């Protein structure tokens, strides 16, 4: 695949992830959670509106509230860096994973730039224990990391090639003796 085609491919995945994230946030803000009252979907999943001014899980909230644009700018830069890495990646799963991570970064960066905080609305819980509220961009980021980990696992072809190379080197070593 040529460089321009790869770049278009990874950009399309990132734009789709960011677009779905922004569409879901708009839907929650304007229709589903307007007014912002929690909605129980299942015994372990609620829709609950939240705004994160910090980094992941609200970390450094106090420090970053004064400069929401700074974190948004950093996330945009990280997203473009991930896109470049994705376009250069040799493994398909790695390209898709990095593209999803870039789309997630863009989705959350748009929120920070527009409203100074990331809109979160998915509330996973078990009884009274609640995971920090998250959104579609966070799902894209997590899925991207999972795909990157899967891409790092040895594939059957690579394992077979490594075994073949080892057996060939043993034969060559035996002949030299």
Catalytic residues: 120, 138
Distance CA 51, CA 1 (A): 41
Which stretch of DSSP H or E encloses residue 34? none
- Identify any residues that bridge with 126 across adjacent strands, giving them in sequence order: 129
Supply the DSSP symbol for 106: H
Quick check: 50 and 120 in contact, CB under 8 A?
yes
Distance CA 156, CA 149 (A): 16
Angle between helices 68-88 and 3-27 (to 10 degrees): 140
């Amino acid at each position: 695949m040529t460089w321009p085609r790869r770049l278009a491919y990874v950009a399309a995945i990132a734009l789709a992830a960011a677009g779905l994230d922004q569409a879901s946030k708009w839907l929650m803000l304007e229709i589903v959670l307007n007014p912002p009252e929690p909605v129980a979907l299942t015994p372990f999943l609620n829709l609950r509106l939240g705004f994160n001014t910090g980094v992941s899980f609200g970390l450094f909230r106090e420090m970053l509230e004064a400069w929401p644009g700074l974190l948004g700018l950093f996330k945009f830069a990280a997203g473009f860096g991930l896109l470049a890495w994705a376009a250069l990646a040799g493994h398909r799963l790695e390209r898709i994973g990095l593209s999803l991570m870039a789309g997630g970064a863009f989705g959350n960066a748009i929120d920070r730039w527009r409203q100074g905080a990331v809109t979160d609305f998915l509330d996973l819980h078990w009884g009274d224990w609640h995971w920090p509220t998250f959104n579609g961009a966070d799902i894209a980021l997590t899925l991207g990391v999972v795909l990157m980990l899967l891409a790092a696992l040895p594939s059957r072809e690579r394992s077979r090639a490594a075994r073949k190379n080892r057996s060939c080197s043993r034969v060559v070593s035996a002949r030299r003796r």
